[in-house]
Amino acid sequence: MSLASPSLTPEKLRALAEDHGLIVREQGHGRNGHTLRLQNGRWLQIKERQTSNGGLVMLYADITQLKRAETARFEAAMAEKSRILQNMVDNLSQGVLMVSTGGEVQVFNHRFIDMSGLDQNTLNGALVDELMRDCPVTLWRIGRSGIRPPEGIRVQTLPDGRVIEVRSHAMDDGGYVNTYTDITQRYLDAKELRETEQWLRLITDNVPALIAYVGDDLRYQFTNRAYDEWYGYPRGA
């Protein structure tokens, strides 16, 4: 059958191309026509125009170079966005770890490397389950499978004495982001405050006098043992 045969319509020509796997992808059907990606990687833009006598003129233009240029610009833009995002994440004071639904490491920053002791080559594309043996910090999603404390937060002490607060943030696709905050100084300050309070109570409880401290809201903030016993209230009431 020759191409000039009246029985070979544009629809039949298109069907033949699809049957032979020549068309891989199709885009758009607007004023500018539509585009086809062929099996050999080339792109065609097809425009159709009606003639005055009811016929149809079809214009085929090879836009492969244009498509390649668009792809290159898109990839460059995405690479720049990824660079900016990574730079921003690397400058956070917290460690960051993003894990996919399948348990694969997707994003991490320098602060996380410092806390975990893992190197960049080991982390790239690794599975969390394979890293747990050699990592002192929590990598899994906190709260999963009945893990306690409550969903999302865990405080742990590393072998070097640092105290880390780990928070999990679930993502819509089933993955999660863990953030790691060094709270060592806060932990030491709280410990020192508790010790100071214990010493203060030990001293005041052995003073033969009634001692109480009332805040500006007229509420008791502190009472010693003699004060509690004198008024007959249990400790802290």
Give CA–CA dist 151/143, Å, rounded: 4
Quote the Cα angle for 42-73-66, to 5°: 30
For the domain covering 92-182, report its CATH number: 3.30.450.20
DSSP element (H, E) containing 218? none
| 3-class state of residue 204 by DSSP | helix
pLDDT for residue 5: 55
Please list the residue range(s) of the chain that carry CATH number 3.30.450.20: 92-182
Which amino acid is residue 86, in one-letter code?
Q
The closest alpha carbon to 27, from 78, 74, 72, 63, belongs to 63
Place of tokens 């585009």: 35
Structure tokens, 215: 């805040």
Residue 1 CB partners (closer than 8 Å, separation 6+): 7, 8
Q: What are the pLDDT tens digits along the chain (237 aa)?
A: 444 555 666 677 777 777 777 877 777 666 667 788 888 888 888 887 778 787 777 788 888 888 888 888 887 777 777 777 777 777 778 888 989 988 898 888 888 888 888 888 888 888 988 888 888 888 888 875 544 444 578 888 888 888 899 998 888 888 898 999 888 888 777 777 777 777 777 788 888 888 888 888 888 888 888 888 888 888 777
pLDDT for residue 149: 45
Give CA–CA dist 192/194, Å, rounded: 5
Do 176 and 107 form a contact (C-beta atoms < 8 A)? no
pLDDT for residue 180: 92
Tell the burial category of 34 from Cβ atoms under 10 Å away from its Cβ (0-12, 13-18, 19+): middle
Which amino acid is residue 180, in one-letter code?
Y
Residue 165 CB partners (closer than 8 Å, separation 6+): 153, 154, 155, 180, 181, 183
Q: Give the phi and the psi of residue 109 in degrees, each rounded to 5.
A: -125, 175
User: What does pTM read for this prediction?
Assistant: 0.52
Give CA–CA dist 161/172, Å, rounded: 35
pLDDT for residue 2: 46
Place of tokens 């928070």: 167
Do 178 and 89 form a contact (C-beta atoms < 8 A)? no
